[in-house]
Amino acid sequence: MVRAGAPFRKRFRFLAAIYTGDQNRNSRDTVCMATMTYQGLDVLYSRHQIAERVAEMGAQITRDLNGEKLVMIGVLKGAAFFLVDLSRAIQADATFDFVAVSSYGNGQRSSGAVKVIKDLDQPIEGKNVLIVEDILDTGLTLAYLRKLFAQQHPKSLRIATLLDKPSRRIEKIDADYVGFSIPNLFVIGYGMDYGERYRNLPDICIMAPEQPE
Ligand code: IMP
Ligand code: MG
């Protein structure tokens, strides 16, 4: 039950302003959903919406695999929650690996540089590889990883991202599987952090813009 008090009206105006101009299907859904809150935060996608979309993505990936094996590579730490759920929605003989990269500082701004902190444990030559990422933002991370993994000559190399912020792109890169395409918002929860906090929020929530220093 939504109360139409002053805080609600203020939040609604804020969100309506953010979403103006974005015409894609998922963003339209978002305008309705964003009036939900969790622990005082505006919810962009609820745990139920996430589960539904992840199931659809898993079914699509299963179809595309056509009975072949898969290696899922999660990008730590943000993609861990998504990988765990997505992997259980894929019906295939799957194995897992993880890489860790640093591309962000402790705030909402990217440092621009990508560095591998933890590399793959197993070779991927000749394998069907699916890179699993929480969010495709500037594209610097995935462009770097795709190039790195392609050098190992996998049989196929695809990308699944839960969220995509196409308006922020610096590197020209698209994911093969996208959960939700979103406007330029900073989001937290379901694995995504702000200064390492909030990863364990069950819903994807909107982080208010940083205050000027
Ligand atoms: P990119 O290299 O700019 O595409 O961004 C890669 C990483 O930045 C993502 O995998 C996230 O870990 C992080 N990131 C980008 N946008 C957000 C956000 O809105 N919330 C939390 N993390 C983000
Ligand atoms: Mg990430």
In a domain, 195, yes or no: yes
pLDDT value of position 26: 47
In angstroms, the Cα distances linking 42 to 31, 32, 39, 166, 204 are 11, 11, 9, 21, 9
Position 40 in a domain: yes
Residue 199 Cβ contacting ligand 1 at under 6 Å: no
Average the pLDDT over 71-92 and give the result: 98
CATH number of the domain where residue 130 is located: 3.40.50.2020
In a domain, 212, yes or no: no
The predicted-structure confidence for 23-35, as pLDDT tens digits, reads as follows: 344 444 444 455 6
Task: Determine the pLDDT at residue 107.
Answer: 57
> How much of the chain exceeds pLDDT 90, in percent?
72
Q: How many CB atoms lie within 10 A of CB 36?
A: 15
| 172 within domain boundaries | yes
What local confidence, expressed as pLDDT, does residue 28 receive? 41
Which tens digit of pLDDT belongs to each residue from 35-60?
A: 699 888 999 999 999 999 999 999 99
Those residues whose C-beta lies under 8 Å from the C-beta of residue 52, and which sit 6 or more positions away, are: none
Name every residue whose Cβ is closer than 8 Å to that of residue 159 and which is 6 or more positions away in sequence: 130, 131, 133, 136, 142, 146, 173, 174, 175, 176, 177
> How many whole angstroms from 78 Cα to the centroid of ligand 2?
4
Is 56 within 8 Å of 173 (Cβ atoms)? Answer: no
- Whether 108 maps to a domain, the answer reads yes
Cα maximum dimension of the chain? 59
Distance 78 CA to ligand 1 centre (A): 8
Domain membership flag for residue 138: yes
For the question of residue 137 being annotated catalytic, the response is yes
Is residue 47 one of the residues assigned to a domain?
Answer: yes
- The more confidently predicted of residues 110 and 77 is 77
Give the residue numbers spanning the domain of 11: 6-207
Phi, psi dihedral angles at 50 (to 5 degrees) = -65, -50
pLDDT, position 14: 52
Counting the structural domains of the chain, the total is: 1
Substitution site in 18, 134, 148 for ligand 1 pocket (most atoms within 8 Å of beta carbon): 134
pLDDT at residue number 10: 47
Helix H or strand E encompassing 181: strand 177-181
Q: Residue 162 and residue 95: Cα distance in Å, rounded?
A: 20
Closest CA to ligand 1's atom 20: 187
For residue 1, tell me if it sits in a domain: no
